[in-house]
Amino acid sequence: MKRCKMVTILLALAVTLGLLAACAGNGNGNGGGVTANLEVATQQPGAVAAPQGERQLPPMTTDNITLTFSIWHYVDIAEYLAERFMERHPNIRVEVLHFPGAGYYMDTLLAYAAAGELPDVFTFLDLTLPVNNGWFFDFTHFWHNDPDYHYLLESMQHLVYIDGRAMKLPEAILPQLVAVDRNVFNMLNVPMPRFDWYWDEMIDLMSSMTRPDLGIFSFNQFLGPVTWGPVVLNDALSEFGWDGERYNMYEWARYMNFEAEMERLGHRAMYGSDEWEALTGDRYLWPGISGRIAMQFDASWTWNNYWVRDFIRDQGIDMVPYAIPMGRDSVTNRRPAFTDFAAISAGTPHPREAYELLKWMTFSPEAWHYRNYMTPQLLNAAGDVIFHIPNRFPATNCPDVWADFRQLFPLDEPAWDYLMAASKEPVPLGGRHILGFGEWHRDEHAYGDWNGVIGIGNAIRAGVLDAFDAVHRMEETGRAAYEAALSRFRLMFGPPPAR
């Protein structure tokens, strides 16, 4: 047993060294690579061109210091990474603060900020609170002098910036995907779609797989076409057709109407309904594990649930992961992904060291190697493996990290190869990176009054509103919310830097 452990550790060390050799080669401000990646970055709104030439970060302190890092989830991985960071920097002690529960996490951060103890590096789940309270440290100077910056995924490069200032990095990326039940397709004698399927093929399946006589529904969804359409069809930078400065909501309206129609026609499995209870015997049985849906629109975290539950497979459910299909005319390979960001506290006394920790906890290839090594070994209190497959996808573009990462998934299922190839240009949802998004979404989509119906989304689903009639109002209010939030941002952080 001991020998086995030693071999594992030696293997891990060998892979680490190999990885460092492979991924550190271009990391010293190599002009070609930097310029190439900068072009990608500066194409996006909000991005600022970094100075050309040799990139070098200022040296870190040699004094003994302590840094704090806060996270709401997966604390085991964070603690493991913190230990590895401390090994690299013996003079720096990293304290991981775990505030469990997404609902309380930001409130806890606020309490810490009020007490003057905001963690030096913190993940955040809502952009408004840190922006309106001036929590972000502007690390533009470090970012523009960092030889490693190009390891961050290209689609994330512009998201580092808010109003021209580098302020945040992606800490967790969880791609959205489609789980296709092979069993249902076989039962209905319908051929499985190709892994590189197109958007219109998925849309056709949504309206054609329902078989009321067999109690089969085409789909169930968490998020779906209305969120994905603007990104995969129009190469938008986020949901609602966000282009960096405004919302273009044509695709949103189209698929809002479409989803409402699909629901009305009974193609979506509506759990909680009388019909669902009559069919399954359990009113609140999650359709994703009912064996009665052809497609489940979901995210990578759900996959782990499929994997760990033997009884799901015992029922004959055979879910195959599919990437969200692209439009036939799409230019990019962007797909929506749940993304959490992390930032440095404006009050940290050690910004340079905090920046290093931020990189380590977000996109550092070396740290990602450690994540890949550690993730399958994490056990819960009962001693069971937590991640049969990882939830979080790499934030780095380092090919060796991705090659390692692939090994953590079933090697005999080619679907994962396609999914991974499709997961290298993730784009986040609005709440994490668009100024004013949360307020606009709440005030309009969720609670906006449309002729007495509360919530424009509800009005569309209830069939009292054609989504296209709401487009102008939504675009205008969205733009106003963004501008108001931008003004507040500038009130806290000052006018944008000269470009």
Partner 1 sequence: MDKKIKEKRRWKPSGRTLRNWVYAYIFLAPWLIGFFLLVAYTLERSFYFSRQIVAITPVGMVFIPHGFTNYADLMQHTFFIQNLVSFVIQSALQIPVIVSFALIIAILLNGKIRARGMFRAIFFLPVIIATGPVMNELTGIGAATVPAVNTAAIAGALSFLPPMVQSPVVSLFGQLIMILWNSGIQILIFLAALQKISVEQYEAAKIDGASGWECFWKITAPAIKPMVFLNAIYTVVWLATSGQNPVIDQIAFFMHSGFYGYGFASAAAFIYSGLVLLLLLVCFLILRTRKEKVPKLVKRLDKRNW
Does 130 bind partner 1 (CB under 8 A)? Our answer is yes
Stretch that binds partner 1, among 60-68, 113-121, 311-319, 329-337 (CB under 8 A): 113-121
- Asked if residue 107 binds partner 1 (CB under 8 A), the reply is yes
Count of beta carbons in the 10 Å neighbourhood of residue 476: 12
Distance, first Cα to last Cα, the chain: 59
**Residue 299 binds partner 1, judged by CB under 8 A:** no
Task: Tell me if 470 sits within 8 A of 456, measured CB to CB.
Answer: yes
Nearest-approach distance from CB 64 to partner 1, in angstroms = 22
Instruction: Measure CA 53 to chain center.
Output: 32
Distances (CA, A) of 57 to 22, 198, 352: 21, 44, 9
CB of 447 to partner 1, least distance (A): 7
Hey, which residues between 404 and 443 contact partner 1 (CB under 8 A)? 438-439
Say what the alpha-carbon torsion angle 7, 12, 18, 24 is, to the nearest 10 degrees. Answer: -160
**Residue of 347, 376, 455, 496 that binds partner 1 (CB under 8 A):** 347
Distance of closest approach, residue 126 Cβ to partner 1, in angstroms:
6
Among the listed ranges 130-138, 288-296, 300-308, 419-427, the one in contact with partner 1 (CB under 8 A) is 130-138
CB-based contacts of 298, cutoff 8 Å, min separation 6: 176, 177, 178, 179, 221, 222, 288
132: contact with partner 1 by CB under 8 A: yes
Residues paired with residue 299 on neighbouring β-strands, in sequence order? 176
CB of 118 to partner 1, least distance (A): 4
CA gap 484, 357 in Å, rounded: 32
Of 47, 106, 172, 317, the residue at the interface with partner 1 (CB under 8 A) is 106
Binding residues for partner 1, rule CB under 8 A, total 27
Establish if 447 lies at the interface with partner 1 (CB under 8 A).
Answer: yes
Stretch that binds partner 1, among 107-115, 164-172, 184-192, 303-311 (CB under 8 A): 107-115
Q: Exactly one of 48, 131, 233, 319 binds partner 1 (CB under 8 A); which one?
A: 131
- Asked if 351 touches partner 1 (CB under 8 A), the answer is no
Q: How far is the CB of 11 from partner 1 (least distance, A)?
A: 42
Q: What values do phi and psi take at 12, rounded to 5?
A: -60, -45
CA 2 to chain centre: 38
Q: Looking at 126, 275, 277, 466, which residue binds partner 1 (CB under 8 A)? A: 126
Across 197-289, the runs of DSSP E, i.e. the strands, are 217-221
Among 133, 183, 304, 458, binds partner 1 (CB under 8 A): 133
Asked whether 427 and 237 are in contact (CB, 8 A), the reply is yes
> Coil, strand, or helix at residue 329?
coil
Write out the two tokens for 420.
């991974």
Residue written as tokens 């964070």? 78
Query: For binding to partner 1 (CB under 8 A), which residues are involved?
Result: 106-107, 110, 113-114, 116, 118, 126-135, 345-348, 438-439, 447, 449, 491-492
